[in-house]
Structure 1
Amino acid sequence: MARAALTRVLEPGDERAGGWLRRTGPVELMRRITAEDGSAERLPGMTAARLGGYRLRAAAAEPGRDLAEAAAVGGRFVCPGDREWPSQLDDLGDARPVGLWVRGRPDLRLWSLRSVAVVGARACTPYGAHMAATLGSGLAERGWVVVSGAAFGVDGAAHRGALAAGGATTAVLACGVDVSYPRGHTELLGRLAQQGLIVAELPPSSHPTRSRFILRNRVIAALTRGTVVVEAEYRSGSLVTARQAQRLGRFAMGVPGPATSGLSAGVHELLRGEGVLVTDADEVVELVGDIGDLPPVRRGPVLPRDHLDAVGARVLDALPYHGVAHPRDLARTAGTSADETLGRLYELHSLGFVEREGDGWQLTPPSARDDDARRGGT
């Protein structure tokens, strides 16, 4: 109850208050804030102005009501030490959340053990939306939970991609779990509450502010094994998330875009540093997954002539593009004997590369080679 009350008294990410909470515990800290015995003034860094602000908020805190409002929308409050608490959040130290308001049926700790953040620009391009949705669906199909912030643009596309694949996705909000923000994502948030999880540090009915969005990003970074940035300008909250992930020892990844796009400039700056370039879900899983989670081998198309040995390839290269050549002339150009050249010409003929014309040889016309390839001859 004390921690639930403190989520209404303290701002997210308040490290000074986090230090007090670590030293005194939630019940004693709440007692000191509300008591008139002078004990609050003895907290390191506490000032009269700061204490006055805390007391105004504490006077309005009704944790029982907040818990009831959360329960009314299918929510609950999770504290450090609870079975459902994701212990990786402890890496934030004194900036660790006081507690988390959670909406949705799945277990937050279990879902967070195998999760990846996909974040990026709100005003993304169609390319950015496509890449975010593709990553979201690809990660979900591979059994990973997609975590994002439910904002317009990349966040929404990542959530929708995971949902479309029938996978798991978590939204970390900068407001209460019962607040639909942005309003345009009311339907999406409803689906997330039914099929996934909605998480917030702030109590029910709380509304977002600019600073709360930035502070929310540290939770996304700490909750997941890595953060993928899809489109971000130089000044972007998504880059804050990625750099926070790096400080916490997580992977920071970026999806490249056009060099001329300002929306990819921040991603490219990240990739010039410690960020890792990724282009699909397989490459993301290779980084954040377990040993053996390797992407498929990437290679270009295999052409019929790739199967020729070195001598056969030289004989084929010796043939002119137009006209007929004698085996002796081809042997001189290819650097082989006349007999070996003739033998290779017959091999090339059986594979459909060349044709005999009297005593000479010529390349098979391209249309004939294409027909043969379609029939499976080469």
Structure 2
Amino acid sequence: MRTEPEPVEPEPGLVGTERGPVRAEPEPVGTEPGSVGTERGQGEPERLARAALTRIAEPGDELVGRWIAAYGACEVVDAVCGTGPPLTGAGERRWAGMRLRAAHARPQADLDAIAASDGRFVCPGDAEWPRQLDDLGDARPFGLWVRGTPVLRVWALRSVAVVGARACTEYGAHCATVLGAELAEQGWTVVSGAAYGIDAAAHRGALAARGPTVGVLACGADVAYPPGNQQLIRVLGERGLLVAELPPGDHPTRSRFVLRNRVIAALTRGTVVVEAALRSGALVTARRALGLGRHLMGMPGPVTSGLSQGVHQLLRGEATVVTDAAEVIEQVGMMGELAPERRGPTVPRDALSPAAARVLEALPGRGASDAARIACSAGVPPGEALARLHELRALGFVERDGNRWQLISRSKGHSIG
């Protein structure tokens, strides 16, 4: 059985791996005390390596994803730190950038920080890992930093993404809030990006219904961004879930928002775009959802609104029109979870027989007429017309004035509309 050396402090130049410690060359990049190059014996090596990679590489880095699939996270970290053989596919400039980040990566400190925030780091293969994220292939997250009590995998089993414009209209905010509440009431998890506009409205709707909701952040799970949603993000961490690919304390960038959208699309069974302009970031999520084989839905808006043009473009393609939670669930739910059939209001004349309805339509809109003229207009024998007139009288549609018949006014009886 291999025994580890027992220095008082970790020796510079040792990297914890599944194969045991590997001695680095003299003065490698990233051998500051407490860096990736000196971290040993503080946790599972693979978990530490994946936590380190969330600082070393950008989210969705497919080259690093391929390296992990081929060699494992520990060997990738070894290669970046210079304590293992180099890997193919990256130029010197890229290696220099990753090594610079590796020099400042302290995965155990990040794990301690997320634990201090009542969070955890969830890796592929963990019981809590949502397996649908594996559909991202080489762009799959290295791991997810999660805050909140619920189990992410369980909440993601029945989840829907609700996304849209940040500078949304009152119409869009109303639709997103109602949709979020209705989905939550039906036990569906509402997933969005905790941003301004549609995202925030969908989260607030789910929270108002005391239902499940997940915020996928483009920054660290302990960072409240955007600042104006600080209170909402705090509540999401307390009553829902906050999920991030970036380690604690890390900041968002424009590209990270775009990369975050692939996680929203992959995590859920389908995506609903409530409002989006033609250049909206929500359309990135929509395209990702389509590419992953997820259901794509859109809520139509006014044709005069620029914030509906992006949604309408999706609806002209492969997206499905939805107007409420029942129609969304019909798309993403199990077989038999159908939306109720839509019908207009029922009016009393719907219950009339075809013969009675024909006689009713033959009466003049104003004034009265005799039975013979009504029969002629209806194209039925006089006797049948008279029988139907008495039937209509009993039902409150017509009244008799001597030998003449007339419609009862709307204020007194049924409407014939």
Q: TM-score scaled by structure 1?
A: 0.96
**1:272 alignment partner in structure 2:** 316
Q: Give 1:1-378 correspondences, 5 Å limit.
A: 1-35=48-82, 39-40=85-86, 43-369=87-413
Q: Which amino acid aligns with 2:350?
A: D
C-alpha displacement at 1:36, in angstroms? 5.3
Instruction: Give 3-state SS (helix, strand or coil) of 1:4's partner.
Output: helix
Q: Normalized per residue, which structure has more helix?
A: 1
Deviations 1:149-189 (A, max 9, x none): 00000000000000000100000000000001011111111
Q: Distance in 2 between matches of 1:253 and 1:321?
A: 46
Instruction: Give 3-state SS (helix, strand or coil) of 2:146's partner.
Output: strand
Structure 2 unmatched ranges of 5 or more:
1-47
**1:376 alignment partner in structure 2:** none
Q: Distance in 2 between matches of 1:172 and 1:85?
A: 15
C-alpha displacement at 1:16, in angstroms? 1.1
Relative contact order, CA 8 A, sep 6+: which one is greater?
1
Q: TM-score scaled by structure 2?
A: 0.87
Structure 1 unmatched ranges of 5 or more:
374-378
Q: Distance in 2 between matches of 1:103 and 1:321?
A: 68
Q: Which amino acid aligns with 1:32?
A: A
Q: Which amino acid aligns with 2:49?
A: A
Deviations 1:21-78 (A, max 9, x none): 11010011111111256x22xx231111111111111111101100111011111000
Identity, in percent, stands at 62
Q: Distance in 1 between matches of 2:345 and 2:161?
A: 33
C-alpha displacement at 1:342, in angstroms? 0.7
C-alpha displacement at 1:325, in angstroms? 1.1
Q: Distance in 2 between matches of 1:100 and 1:321?
A: 70
Instruction: Give 3-state SS (helix, strand or coil) of 1:367's partner.
Output: coil
Q: Distance in 1 between matches of 2:265 and 2:50?
A: 22
